[in-house]
């Protein structure tokens, strides 16, 4: 089966050696490579596409799920944050998708009460930069980043108009959700893979100062997180288990936990050594400031009908 995305086989005329090498490396990644090859691919991609710019307007909400089967309760909560039956929802898959899969995605969210659902799936970076292609994001109230591979999101969309419009969704108070790969892709320092030794790259930068990992307890990823935090002692680690969500109000920095399992909040000291570990269950709340030790109690914030901090 040919897994190469359409649009990768571009004419090489006019490309410098560095860009040619980057695209060649990205093609190797899509076809599936080992640890060292993937790490080299991500180094090329990070050099080629700059770090995402910070958001400047009113910040919305992130709804990050740790993978596994999405409980209906979490799906409905995300839908409510996006506007309920008036939501305009855009689904961005984290892997190649065909016609029947696209139809199934739409039906899943319509069953949760959203009549207005679109699927956005670029077949090239040039398409991701086409204003007409991403126009549906200009009016979206919610975006869902699906499971798959987080490097798929960044390879196609980071540094493109799609990324800019994701930030605009949040700036006008919308919600961006993601599960598994989609949850990890929202941060700046992004977990890209690896088991004993983590592979890292840069994500969309929608959530600054935080590293998100998923399937956390189910796949025993605590060691991976701690190694990443030793490299980035200025970050907070949020390890989200399956069927569990972290809801982040970006304006207040408040965090609420929902779902069936646990979230581990890992806070390193200035040398990257674990200083604080919080085990959070459904109904618990905290804030980014509290985790960093800058406040004692998070201030409750209301997002739709969801109180973050009550």
What CA–CA distance (Å, rounded) separates 202 from 205?
8
Per-residue pLDDT tens over the stretch 192-242 = 999 889 999 999 999 999 999 999 999 999 999 999 999 999 999 999 999
33 and 104 fall within a common domain = no
Structural domain boundaries enclosing 87: 61-308
Q: Mark whether 157 and 80 lie in a shared domain.
A: yes
* Helices 161-171 + 150-157 axis angle, to 10: 110
- Position 53 in a domain: no
Res 307 pLDDT > 90: no
Q: Is the pLDDT of residue 189 over 70?
A: yes
Residue 217 backbone phi and psi in degrees, to 5: -80, -40
Element (DSSP H or E) covering residue 231: helix 222-231
* Angle, vertex CA 222, rays to CA 217 and CA 227, nearest 5: 160
The average pLDDT across 79-108 equals 97
Render 166-197 in DSSP notation, one character per residue: HHHHHHBT-EEEEETHHHHTTBSEEEEE-SSS
| Geometric angle at alpha carbon 285, from 283 and 290, rounded to 5° | 165
- Over residues 126-143, mean pLDDT: 98
Would you say residue 52 has pLDDT above 80? no
The pLDDT value given to residue 135: 98
Q: Does 54 reside within a domain?
A: no
The verdict on 31 and 165 lying in the same domain is no
118 and 196 assigned to the same domain: yes
- 98 with 16, same domain: the answer is no
Q: Is residue 99 in some structural domain?
A: yes
pTM: 0.80
Say whether pLDDT at 284 is over 70: yes
Residue 67 and residue 3 share a domain:
no
Confidence at residue 26, expressed as pLDDT on a 0 to 100 scale: 43
**Residue pointed to by tokens 């090498």:** 21
Q: Tell me the pLDDT of the chain averaged across its residues.
A: 84
Is residue 174 located within the same domain as residue 25?
A: no
Same domain, 79 and 1: no
| Whether residue 44 sits in one domain with residue 65 | no
Q: Strand 142-148 relative to strand 175-179: parallel, antiparallel, unpaired?
A: parallel
pLDDT, tens digit, 9 for 90 and up, residues 261-280: 999 999 999 999 999 999 99
End residue of a domain, out of 9, 25, 48:
48
- For residues 11 and 85, which has the higher predicted lDDT (pLDDT)? 85
Nearest CA-CA partner of 92 in 260, 207, 204, 190: 204
What residues have CB less than 8 Å from 34, skipping those under 6 apart? none
């Amino acid at each position: 089966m040919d897994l190469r995305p359409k649009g990768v086989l571009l004419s090489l005329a006019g490309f410098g050696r560095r860009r040619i090498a980057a695209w060649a490396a990205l093609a190797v990644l899509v076809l599936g490579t080992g640890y060292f090859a993937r790490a080299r691919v991500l180094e090329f991609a990070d050099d080629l596409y700059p770090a995402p710019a910070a958001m400047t307007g009113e910040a919305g909400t992130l709804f990050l799920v740790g993978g596994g089967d999405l409980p209906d309760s979490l799906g409905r909560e995300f839908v409510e944050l996006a506007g309920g039956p008036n939501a305009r929802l855009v689904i961005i898959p984290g892997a190649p998708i065909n016609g029947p899969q696209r139809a199934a995605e739409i039906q899943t969210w319509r069953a949760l009460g959203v009549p207005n659902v679109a699927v956005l799936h670029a077949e090239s970076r040039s398409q991701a930069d086409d204003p007409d292609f991403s126009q549906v994001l200009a009016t979206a109230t919610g975006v869902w980043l699906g499971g798959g591979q987080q490097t798929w999101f960044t390879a196609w969309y980071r540094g493109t108009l799609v990324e800019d419009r994701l930030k605009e969704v949040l700036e006008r108070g919308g919600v961006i959700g993601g599960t598994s790969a989609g949850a990890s892709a929202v941060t700046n320092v992004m977990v890209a893979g690896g088991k004993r030794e983590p592979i890292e790259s840069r994500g969309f930068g929608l959530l600054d100062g935080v590293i998100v990992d998923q399937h956390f307890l189910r796949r025993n990823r605590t060691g991976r997180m701690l190694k990443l935090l030793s490299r980035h002692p200025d970050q907070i680690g949020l390890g989200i288990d399956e069927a569990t969500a972290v809801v982040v109000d970006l304006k207040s920095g408040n965090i609420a936990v929902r779902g069936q399992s646990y979230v581990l909040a890992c806070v390193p000291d200035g040398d990257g050594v674990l200083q604080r570990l919080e085990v959070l269950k459904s109904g618990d709340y905290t804030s980014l400031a509290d985790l960093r030790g800058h406040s004692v109690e998070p201030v409750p914030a209301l997002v739709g009908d969801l109180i973050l901090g009550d």
